[in-house]
Structure 1
Amino acid sequence: MKLLCGITLLLAVAVAYYIYIPLPRAISEPWKLMVLDATFRGVVSMGDVAHSLGLSHRVHVINSAIINFESLVPVTNQEIQAEDILFDGVHVRVYHPPGRKEKLRRAVMFIHGGGWALCAPKLGSYDSLCRQMAADLDAVVVTVDYRMAPDVHFPVQYDECVRAAKHFLRPEVLAQYSVDPERVAVCGDSAGGNLAAAVAQRIGMDNSTSVKFKLQVLIYPVLQALDFNTASYQQNQNVPILYRTLMARFWLEYLDSDLDLVHSIIKNKHTAQDQSLLSLSRSKLNWTNLLPKRVIKHYKPIFPLTGSPKILKDLPALLDARAAPLLAEDEVLHMAPRAYILTGEHDVLRDDGMMYARRLELAGVSVTNDHYEDGFHGCVTFAFWPCYFSVGIRAVQNYIAWLDEHL
């Protein structure tokens, strides 16, 4: 009996040691986040082991676990009809609110996150989110089921989202779905926010597209990969669920590069002071000028004197605004639609969103930056049973309310 109690105690201590990580006091529901993070870390570790043994690609293992979990989330707002269809060869799901088709409705094109590699937009939290938008806004919602890494890489994800958007914005397609062409928004979270921003830029500059997006909603978007030491990357590098190293891995997977470069890019070796290719890009992400002092705090830029020029030469997409919308020229930003940008204090991507908000403002675009002091990355997808956080519920309610007011 004593042996059993001893083993139980040791196991409990080991589990507690694995789960516990120090978190900022202000973060939403820290113990719940610790459990969620420990689960995700375990899945990532399983993926790495399977990959190293040659059993399966690490991303496929992680995504399989996510899909199994998301399948547990019950379908909400069942009165919303869902139709799976192709838009110019791209898989999408169209959500229709009940009611007469003669009535012109608003519409939202939604692009899911997951590091351009993970998640299932037709299941679980993303399905619930799109159904809630359709119900609360009485709007047609289109979610883009773009192909993901490691099966495809940049620019495939971007190209598929552009094709789906251009198809949906055709006047005859909008008419088919009884959508008001003056009231269409594009929305995305995380990597989906990256794609939504890039698509909004493309549509804004595309003279062949007569219908434009009225609004863009970017939820903690990832917008650049040239500086992994912004104030928020430094402050939140070890805050779940998106650690700095994990974000770097997502970028390298997206751009079809070697994950061994993770340690070089998180030290900004690819953007060292001796890198001449960056002369035109540095001002576009100079966070000491673009961020408010309250978030910069005591943090300083970190760029080594000498670096690895081969990284930028081998990965030119790092300087491509289609992959990194924060690098777009001012004239491109000027043509972008009015923006709502959601950021969380405890998120490595906080400064990406805030810098983009400032650059859009400087280009003459109206911007609402909705910042959550208790927010962490991914909180919007954690607004539904069985894994919900109060900050996620508030964030979803607030951004839908903003759409309801402005769309």
Structure 2
Amino acid sequence: MSTETASSNLDVNPLEYLQVTLNPDRTLNRELFIFPDTSAIPDPTPHAGPVLSKDVPINPSHNTRARIFLPHHRARSGSGEKLPLILYYHGGGFILCSPASNIFHEFCVTLARELSAVVVSVAYRLSPEHRLPAAYDDAVEALHWVKTAQDEWLVDHADLSKCHLMGSSAGGNLAFHVGLHISASHEDLKPLKIRGLILHQPFFGGNQRTPSELRLANNHMLPLAVADLMWELSLPLGVDRDHEYCNLAAYGGSKLWEGVDKMRSLGWRLLVTGCDGDLLIDRQVEMAKLLKEKGLSVVSDFTEGGYHAFEAMEPNKSKPLVLTLKSFMSTTVAGQGAVGPPDGVSTQNAA
């Protein structure tokens, strides 16, 4: 790692880039943010497309909810073997977006269609109005809601014994920390059974800059100044980017490693994906290596090219990711060995 810590030579104004403004009370005005919302389509009409979706409340006092995605053909037939369940956490640096944001709505449509799965996309409280760990708490609460939910789509079509936690970017960070939290109390989730964690280009950071952060500091999708702002607005007040929520490598706390040990003892497997066009790639590679050294079964898929969240931004480029997800999910459910090389790390396209 480089020892550089200052946010120097950054050409991007992060607030202007995101088209948001910071109010005097330190709340965020998101009215001009670039990703519009997409309405849910709950009714199985001929024009509904391959996947239906609907919004359901989780905790009205926190205004949290979920958008459930169900392959259209299952809604029509109403029968057959139940589908695996993906509990999905959207990205947005903890400060932006929701399950309705078009980028994440369409990505969940792809997951439900291509993986033949029920997808529950969770809306959690955003920072800076609700700083971490509020989003982690909401993400855990969503799991407990799923296990007892009486929604007909979940009751009739979701196999709660075949559940994966998945998140993109900040959602990948969420999925990992939720896994740490619930591993010690997994029995409380029955009949929900977690089979594995899917960390899609997860969002982590640190005070020291990595080579990929310096190389891609002013990239078009996630500039370093934007990532810095997201952490500044989402981390608890008074801490820096070496806090445990942000930087696993700098955090030596026993609580973290106890959670990792518990995940290992439960037989959970982790998939970490990334690409070398993403300034976070070095963090992701380091994370996969660190967790593997701690004894977890970790599958990595690091590819050349791309950029942060490119599979969600350009659905026509998501096929390789979908194939990786199919392979990973099939082996976690079947209880088989690692995907790819013996060490569980994909090296053919490694960044």
Q: The TM-score by the shorter chain falls in which range?
A: 0.7 to 0.9
**Superposed displacement of residue 325, structure 1:** 5.3
Please say if 1:397 is aligned against 2:322. Answer: yes
Structure 1 or 2: more helix by fraction: 1
User: Could you tell which deviates more after superposition, 235-244 or 323-332?
Assistant: 323-332
Give the distance between the partners of 2:323 and 2:109, measured in 1 at CA. Answer: 16
Given the superposition, is the C-alpha separation of residues 338 and 66 from structure 1 closer, same or farther in structure 2, using an over 3 Å criterion?
same
2:167 paired with 1:188? yes
Structure 2 counterparts to residues 138-153 of structure 1, below 5 A:
138-153=116-131
Q: Match for 1:333: what amino acid? A: V
Please give the alpha-carbon distance, in whole angstroms, between the structure 2 residues aligned to 1:113 and 1:405. 25
Cα 1:325/1:141, change in 2 over 3 Å: farther
For the structure 1 residues 142 and 175, does the alpha-carbon distance in structure 2 shift closer, same or farther, using more than 3 Å as the test? closer
Change (3 A) 1:367 1:77: farther
Q: TM-score, normalised by structure 1?
A: 0.64
Do the aligned residues in 1 keep the contact of 2:111 with 2:322 (CA within 8 Å)? no
Residue 42 of structure 1: how far off its partner (Å) = 9.3
Superimposed CA distance per residue, residues 111-145 of structure 1 (whole angstroms, 9 cap, x where no aligned partner): 00011111232242211111121122221110001
Rounded to whole Å, the distance in 2 between the matches of 1:353 and 1:107 is 25
Q: Which moved more, 1:330-339 or 1:241-250?
A: 330-339
Shift of 1:254: 0.7
Alignment counterpart, residue 372 of structure 1, candidates 297, 300, 303: 303
**Which whole-Å deviations, capped at 9, do the CAs of 1:84-128 have from their partners, x for residues lacking one?**
112355300111222334632201011000111112322422111
Change (3 A) 1:366 1:249: same
Match of 1:94 in 2: 68
Q: Of 83, 99, 106, which residue of structure 2 is paired with 1:105?
A: 83
> Normalised by the size of structure 2, how large is the TM-score?
0.73
8 Å contact 1:186–1:213 — kept in the other structure?
Answer: yes
Provide closer, same or farther for how the CA distance between residues 345 and 218 of structure 1 changes in structure 2, counting only shifts above 3 A.
same
Match of 2:201 among 193, 202, 220: 220
The counterpart of 2:105, out of the listed 127, 138, 148, is 127
What letter is aligned with 1:96?
Answer: L
Deviations 1:248-295 (A, max 9, x none): 1000111265xxxxxxxxxxxxxxxxxxxxxxxxxxxxxxxxxxxxxx
CA distance in structure 2 between the partners assigned to 1:129 and 1:382 by the alignment:
8
Are 1:200 and 2:179 counterparts?
yes
Tell me which residue corresponds to 1:357: 288
Instruction: Give 1:39-50 correspondences, 5 Å limit.
Output: 44=17, 46-47=19-20
Where structure 1 has 5 or more consecutive residues not aligned to the other structure, the ranges are: 1-37, 258-313, 385-389
Helix, strand or coil at the partner of 1:376: coil
Match of residue 330 from structure 1: 257
Asked if the contact 1:77–1:131 (Cα under 8 Å) also holds between the matched residues in 2, the reply is no
Structure 1 residues 146, 399: closer, same or farther in 2, change over 3 A? Answer: farther
| 1:249-398 mapped onto 2 (5 Å cutoff) | 249-255=229-235, 257=237, 314-315=238-239, 318-321=242-245, 324=247, 327=251, 329-336=256-263, 337-384=268-315, 392-398=317-323
Q: Which amino acid aligns with 1:201?
A: L
**How far did residue 44 of structure 1 move?**
2.2
Shift in CA distance, 113/45, structure 1 to aligned 2, threshold 3 Å: closer
Separation of aligned partners in 2, 1:372 and 1:158: 29
Q: Which moved more, 1:237-246 or 1:103-112?
A: 237-246
Q: Quick one: structure 1 residues 151 and 214, their matched pair in 2 at CA, closer, same or farther if it must change by over 3 Å? A: same
In the aligned structure 2, how far is the partner of 1:186 from the partner of 1:381?
Answer: 17
Specify the alignment match of 1:179 in structure 2: 158
Is the Cα contact below 8 Å between 1:240 and 1:377 reproduced in 2?
Answer: no
Aligned length: 299
Residue type of the alignment partner of 2:164 = A
CA contact (8 A) 2:273 2:300 kept: yes
> Does 1:60 find its partner at 2:34?
no
Q: Distance in 1 between matches of 2:98 and 2:80?
A: 32
What is the distance in 1 between the residues matched to 2:213 and 2:132?
Answer: 23
- In structure 2, the residue corresponding to 1:375 is in which secondary structure? coil
Secondary structure of the residue aligned to 2:30 is helix
1:56, CA displacement in angstroms?
Answer: 10
- Residues 168-201 of structure 1, C-alpha deviation per residue, up to 9 Å, x if partnerless? 2459889724432331101111111110111111
Segments of 5+ residues of structure 2 without an aligned counterpart are: 1-11, 334-351
User: How large is the Cα RMSD of the aligned pairs?
Assistant: 3.5
| AA aligned opposite 1:91 | R
